[in-house]
Amino acid sequence: MDDFRILPAADSALVIEFGSAIDRKISDRVLALAETLTSASLPGATEIVATFRSLSVNYDSLLTTGRELEQAITALAKRSDASSRIRKLWDIPVCYDPPYAPDIAEIAKTIGLTVAEVAALHAGTQYHVYMIGFVPGYPYMGDLPAKLRLPRRLDPRTRVPPGSLAIATSMTAVYPYESPGGWHLIGTSPVRFFDPDSAKAALLGPGDGVKFRPVTADEFSRIRLAVERNDYVPGSTEIAA
């Protein structure tokens, strides 16, 4: 397949770009190539970062050259097509009750649904993790049902609490850390999405599937306590990519 171009980021990275859209087919192509390049262990390549529509291959220019790397990647990219990896489908508990969801009532009003209907619509969709970015462990997941697609808030919050479930445009995400944020907050998950003390660091990886499961405030508190005791891992099943 010859559907990409390679752009330089000085002598620090090559950007392998598959178009400029957020598109599930492009994402699958990016993730399949990420997998191929990771298992190829290219000499001098230090990181492989998948995004919506491109792949950054960072390298150490004392160990290799962009030209050598470009040749190796081009050869592999033409062969790499579909992903063979078995991915995870995660079952993530979320409390959508208004005290845990500061923007849900307003959104329900805007789109002409009840709060319960907004929660059911959001939880009734299976999402694809396109990429992790913005802050450590922040998963960009899509695509939202058409009815839930709204522009970002006009007044971004300076502090979004950790665990906040958010939506904006066609995407949904969970804030692993307290940070500024302009997305609408429609729930809170008790799960820990990023733990620098664990070997894998981030719970979700690009390519994973995610379904959200509505829980009551009581269940939320029980799970949060278990998370604090390091005694809770959300359920997951294996799915073909």
Partner 1 sequence: MIPVLKVIAPGFHTTLQDQGRRGFQHVGVPVSGALDRNGYLLANALVGNTQGAACLEIIGSGPELEVTGSSARIVLVGSGGLEISGRDGLPIPSGQTAHLTRGEIVRVRLGGEAFCSYLAIEGGFEVPLCLNSRSTYTRAGFGGLSGRPLRSGDTLHGTIDDAAARAEVCLNDRRDLRLDQAIRVVLGPQDDYFTEDAIETLLSGVYSITPASDRMGFRLAGPLLEHKSDYNIVSDGIVAGSIQVPGSKLPIVLMADAQTTGGYPKIATVISADLPILGVRGAGCAVRFQSVSREEAEKIRRADYQELLNVISNIRVVSESRSIDIEALYNQNLIDGMIDANA
Can you give the binding site for partner 1, defined by CB under 8 A? 7-13, 15, 17, 20-22, 34, 46-56, 58, 61-62, 65-67, 131-138, 140, 177, 194, 196-197, 200-202, 205-206
User: Please, which residue, 87 or 118, has the CB nearer to partner 1?
Assistant: 87
User: Please, which residue, 22 or 141, has the CB nearer to partner 1?
Assistant: 22
User: Please, which residue, 55 or 101, has the CB nearer to partner 1?
Assistant: 55
Rounded to a whole number of angstroms, the minimum distance from the CB of residue 85 to partner 1 is 14
Residue 142 vs residues 85, 169, 172: alpha-carbon distances, Å:
20, 10, 6
Rounded to a whole number of angstroms, the minimum distance from the CB of residue 126 to partner 1 is 21
User: Please, which residue, 53 or 88, has the CB nearer to partner 1?
Assistant: 53
CA neighbor of 170 nearest in space, from 185, 155, 148: 148
Q: Is 19 exposed, middle or buried (0-12, 13-18, 19+ CB in 10 A)?
A: middle
Task: Quote the tokens at residue 189.
Answer: 């998950």
Rounded to a whole number of angstroms, the minimum distance from the CB of residue 119 to partner 1 is 27
Rounded to a whole number of angstroms, the minimum distance from the CB of residue 172 to partner 1 is 15
Q: Which residues contact 29 (CB under 8 A, 6 or more apart)?
A: 1, 3, 18, 81
**How far apart, in whole angstroms, are the C-alpha atoms of residue 161 and residue 175?**
7
